[in-house]
Structure 1
């Protein structure tokens, strides 16, 4: 089966600088070539293993060789991901752009840099007083410049797999509320002169997405902060983006909604035949902790076609690395592998023609595990960002290091329960 229209690049085209572009391109081409070559070897060894199993003469050495190649494929994929991340991470605040920025923006940027380097908060206090801000100042930190906040958001979109797929909305309050119809208005047919009985009205309910506090605490030496060549905003954004991405990446999948976003695996899950709004539907593999031995690809087909066509055209598979290693071995009825490696840096691997995104927060294949999700995540999951990233400078708690308690408020939850389905590794 193939679905070329949906084989899309999850991340946009890499943004690269002219300097070093040729070297980066050569490294990327080499990484892709190595990955493709490794996968060809993988297919040959796996074909040998399958032939041995059919003859009931499976060779342990073949299985071990396949496991080594599988690990090598993961290494090649990690290399490609690192190159894509490196290419797409934007440089923050080049000097010419600062000069052309509005005066208020430059004033905030300069005041923030002074605060980070030397702890002098007078400039930021004056700006917040001028803006009638309700900031908590010395007790709760100061807002980073808007360009730094924007770049932290862009970096998170690169590093956080679910955020990259989901809808993202920025709010000014503590909670985002979204109305939805649990039942639509009733309609019907009527002849030209027939009576039109009154129909039922739509029933409205509300989804609430509260923004919870996410924090990171990077540390720096005073000598680093005193170095005029160090762009303190760039340094701060680089230090917090990975920490934020790791925490929210887990919360968007498995978070319980208590002081953190609610992950899509935390909602009530029901068999697709009993699906109802506010529940996430699943398809069972028919075998506990495994794909069925006779027809291993069938559960994936059932999963794909459990999704309505309107969602399926923009759908993505989400699974962790271990699960992706398992699906690499699967073939269709014609002997073609269902999984295909990415065609280039910044592109996703594909399964049955649909993109595959790795999220290590997804569970491993095990009995009753919901190890694979499939759906249109932009319609399925909503990430809510409260505007504003705060930084509180702490030069006392970890001398001689200066800590920067950095906080942002993030929420998340399912907004359309029909837009994605799960694969449960169970008999039913």
Structure 2
């Protein structure tokens, strides 16, 4: 069977720098950050209550974007709402005609964070299990007294497979359907799985994306416990400083991005606009012999696998869209992994990070950042890293700074890695406008 090539024919974006590909692209190329003071939660554990929220997507505003599934909004937490809204937008952007396509050849691969309910939702159930005399929580009462005080549909609002479920209902998708919950690695991982579903001939179209919101009271506590969170004295938009010598940590964020992936001949037969091509992907998880996370090795492994999958050599890559958290250790580990794979080429290959614009949303990061590269490459440029005013010599990378960098090579390697060493890499090719 002839090779089935996979192209991008639709993009849906809900991000801190804009909703929809036009607003996203405009603000990205203008260097406008989406990091600001969090408005939806008055007080969180993160310094300065700083994060990267999606503007224009409050509970009331979200209804406008979710009209086709309005009856289901009541069982969608914010992560699900963002993911479904981005999928609806991508489907419409692709120009797919619901009346003309074979719905048995339409599948879904979607990534998500673990989803948590707000603490106040659990308060009545928790209080029902407290011993009035001792004040202690009695676990054995949860199944009777606690659960009786829970919302009947509580579980459906927070399952990470629910974005794919709601999207399948919206699109009447009857093909392969899967959900991945791999934190930051989710986005690139679902792109890889969806690509292979099409290559194997199991589908012609895949709704593929990821969603995540870390703007959440409990998740902010988790971030402070487990990760290095940025601190600063200047405006919030300057706090996240990937690969800068003065970086102090990451900024939490939220968002969702969805691609319509399509077999190329299928797309051309219906006259679709092609926004990019998926060339290859790779994933790896690595720990050291003593059980410690080895993000450097995981990233290097995933990059090599992706290059092999795409049939490319390091010199074929036009730029790297790095994970670039802005954490002191993580950025050095990532830079070392890039050098492990690219060798002396690492001195010259352009590297960018979009975390200064978008923060770290977890699962949505990989798809949002790949969309950023593909949209910029349509204009013949590489998006630039903001806030990297003094590049760290210990990282030693060729960081794109100041303004978008013109390029003729439209191949991008997109990197993602988790706190526990799960890495996923996607290689794609942009298409000129």
TM-score bracket, shorter-length normalisation: under 0.3
TM-score by length of 2: 0.26
TM-score by length of 1: 0.26
Looking at CA atoms only, which structure, 1 or 2, has the larger radius of gyration? 1
